[in-house]
Structure 1
């Protein structure tokens, strides 16, 4: 459920506002949910019974329902005793107040009971969502009981809202965040509402606050030094520690532990859920000039049309994974050996376009983005970016050019190397500012990809990288916002030298080394089912049971197999001890293990041989 790291959420709303459905969507990705029902049944009220039946029918079968209508004080106990790995949904506090005011439960100190509930919510270690009616906008009731109810519920809402990390008001099915103010993060299956950012410098947001970015008259301003959110620094280590307690027959998940750690940190919970909603963004942007040497004319456009029609490798893998696929056209880059790839205006437009793509995905509840690319000359352009940002030698990061017939085209590879060399030489006096690198060398697809990474970081959406364009964009984005790389996961380096170098610079360890070459993005989708399986397994497995008391290791002083002490009493010397020499303590100090004598002739030691005993029994003299 974790909304941007907030584990305690209060959802307010009027009658039939959709508040319960929204609250349920917040915990839809949890493995199991404890649904705490507070309403008292009414056998003589058919309409009320029908409402309760509707709520029950909407709950998944995996949810466990607990009722607190018999004792309103029990709600605080349920919340206070919840475990950190649990998810609780309390629906709702209005019914709880109704029971609290019931004369059958009087006399009661209502103020103290409300304070106990607020304290339990504030200290709750579990993920907690509470639903409550908002009645403060209506007229003052005309009856004493009505006024007592609104006064009590108002006091409850204020106390619980103060204890919660986030407060959301649902009006006509539209969620609006009240605490803290700003953009509302997406919940599973729910659209996300965006509050326009205010003008002014970027504000540091920390791990739980929304991102405030500068806005000019023309829209979003993307500039170096932006302060974007970081993943939860505690959830990742907690998830790894929890893995060590799972009931598995082997030694665990191996290198795939980092998948669980990454998902936990980006979801803000030590028990992350597998990504259900995934979107693939296929960037189609060609590069002109020598960087595209060896590329078949029109091939990239054919690939893009094929993917858009649901055909080809990428589309089929996306369908197998239940992922959406969106083809994104990027501006064509000019030859970098002759001049800048893009103008400054084109770079700004491409960055904003990428940012909006990430926001649109987050708005519809996408939980994971996959970057893909199919433009001509993308690998050489990415190599140029690596050379400019990481000091790489172009020939070392440019993969061999392979023709459609499977032959290596050395001439095309040399043409690409020359184009990258000439482009770097031409731009040697330009700054290495991120936007300048995109303008001089990067091109439209890398610029759009950079905007996607920044927008995804701002909306706390992880990105699965796969290929040169994605890692080149990650290198550029780190100079605009260093937090972006922490939201990136590298599925496989594919044996590509540029990806391997960029991963080393960014500190991104590839999850696998399958050396797939199915096209940028397709390799990631091939690995995605494995990543989902690991997350589902880590969330569903129980912890290792403790061994029973009777299986505990016996004490060294316990009796032997015959009921006697394991070590005989020193006063009861056996016949062998009587035949020993007078120094009987030597036998007690003799080690259990003796070095065996070697076979064949030769001394067993270099020390002088001690005198042998003439005792016919063979016992050593004392």
Structure 2
């Protein structure tokens, strides 16, 4: 497996300072473009470039199934995962719409769907046919968790070799808020009742059942919070691992990572647990209504760009937020300075 510890370097704070100084020469009062200026500075730190670029973005959707759905934790049956993959391939899902809008390079990767997908355009990198039911057994072996991480790393690496300048990862996996909540509970040490919401549409009794399942499963599996791969193997998901690997590849390539919602941000926490430098490459696109998302965002020390009441997943919130990154880049690249425009600066 790639040495993910040494491949990722800290962001370039000196370059951020240079970009900040340049932004203050643009034809506007200092700080008047607010968060846009903060993003531009962070993009300078990430890329090490005076004039960063984020286009084209890469959108990679990883799909996998979860054995824990046998415990009644999802409002939808497991076969919806495969059905939705076909919807992605036909261009009909939310992430397809928003990927087209932002001109993204797009792919869907089967890293663990519970059935065989008969379609040419899906990239099949199946580690296994869904995870185990982690109420009664580990979700996967450690070797399988590492393999899923590697799949994500390699798919993202290929996108960067094809010219992608920003990473958005999405997921499709019925029941995947359950492993995400379990991972967050382990990493945060918070009570499960503070982390588990309705997912794709559970009522209050079903939410309580889901909370109980996760609590019992964590007690049974005893994942080591100081070992992110152990947590993935015991209570995680294959698509969650693949998203984590893709983020590590982005950080290793000095590519900005635009995080989506709850599940994606939990993957971001795992990436930061594997290599703390990875956190500096992340920007949170939006705040999900899933209650655990705030906890995950705060653990990363980030502020979301948008708060639109999203809870779809797939990478949709990040894709909708992407034009804000474009605006930050164009501000630095195209705005005149006081000197170039012949305008008197502040005395």
TM-score in terms of structure 2 length: 0.86
Shift of 1:401: 4.1
The change in CA–CA distance for 1:221 and 1:324 in structure 2 (over 3 A counts) is closer
> Of residues 321, 326, 333 in structure 1, which corresponds to 2:102?
321
4+ residue segments displaced more than 4 Å = 545-549
- The answer for the alignment partner of 1:272 in structure 2 is 52
State the alpha-carbon separation in 2 of the partners of residues 401 and 385 from structure 1.
15
The offset of 1:285, in angstroms, is 1.2
Of residues 293, 311, 324 in structure 1, which corresponds to 2:74?
A: 293
* Greater Cα radius of gyration, structure 1 or 2: 1
Q: CA deviation at 1:465?
A: 0.8
Pick from 323, 327, 342: which aligns with 1:533? 327
Cα drift, residue 296 of structure 1: 3.2
2:198/2:290 contact within 8 Å kept: no
State how 1:143-182 maps to structure 2 within 5 Å: none
Deviation at 1:247, TM superposition (A): 0.8
How does 1:487-502 map onto structure 2 within 5 Å? Answer: 487-502=281-296
SS at match of 2:276: coil
1:388 maps to: 186
Secondary structure of 1:295's counterpart equals coil
SS across alignment from 1:265: helix
For residue 503 of structure 1, what is the aligned residue in structure 2?
297
State yes or no: 1:246 paired with 2:54: no
2:137 pairs, out of 322, 339, 345, with 339
* Distance (Å, rounded) in 2 between the aligned partners of 1:399 and 1:240: 39
Match of 1:308 among 89, 93, 99: 89
Aligned partners of 1:523, 1:222: CA distance in 2, in Å? 31
Distance of 1:547 and 1:320 partners within structure 2: 36
Residues 251 and 281 of structure 2 are in contact (CA less than 8 Å); yes or no, is this contact kept in structure 1?
A: yes
RMSD of aligned alpha carbons: 2.4
Distance change >3 Å, CA 295–CA 348, structure 1 → 2: same
Q: Whole-Å Cα distance in 2 between the matches of residues 534 and 430 of structure 1?
A: 40
Q: CA–CA distance in 2 between the matches of 1:281 and 1:323?
A: 10
Q: 2:116 maps to what in 1?
A: none
CA deviation vs aligned residue, 1:464-487 (integer Å, no higher than 9, x gap) = 110222211222222321111111
Are the structure 2 counterparts of residues 410 and 222 from structure 1 closer, same or farther at C-alpha, using a change threshold of 3 Å?
farther
Structure 2 residue matching 1:284: 3-state secondary structure: strand
Aligned residue in 1 for 2:315 = 521
2:338·2:344 contact (CA, 8 Å) conserved in 1? no
Structure 2: 5+ residue stretches without partners? 113-129
Quickly say closer, same or farther: Cα 1:416–1:253, change in 2 above 3 A: same
Query: For residues 219-230 of structure 1, what are the structure 2 equivalents within 5 Å?
Result: 220-222=1-3, 225-226=5-6, 228-230=8-10
Find the residue that maps to 1:248 and give its secondary structure.
coil
Task: Find the aligned partners of 2:331 and 2:208 in 1 and give their Cα distance.
Answer: 48
- Flag the 1:253–1:387 CA change in 2: closer, same or farther, 3 A: same
Q: Is the 8 A contact 1:493 1:515 kept in 2?
A: yes
Residue of structure 2 equivalent to 1:379: 177
Q: What SS does the aligned partner of 2:51 have?
A: coil
Residues in 2 aligned to 1:462 and 1:422: alpha-carbon distance in whole angstroms: 37
Shift of 1:260: 0.5
Q: Residues 226 and 389 from structure 1, CA distance in 2 versus in 1: closer, same or farther, beyond 3 angstroms? A: farther
Partner of 2:123: none
548 and 464 in structure 1: CA distance in 2 versus 1, 3 angstrom threshold:
closer
**Secondary structure of residue in 2 paired with 1:330:** strand
Using the size of structure 1 for normalisation, the TM-score is 0.50
Please identify which structure carries the higher helix content.
Answer: 2
1:345 deviation in Å?
Answer: 2.0
Q: 1:251 to 1:347 in 2, by over 3 A?
A: closer
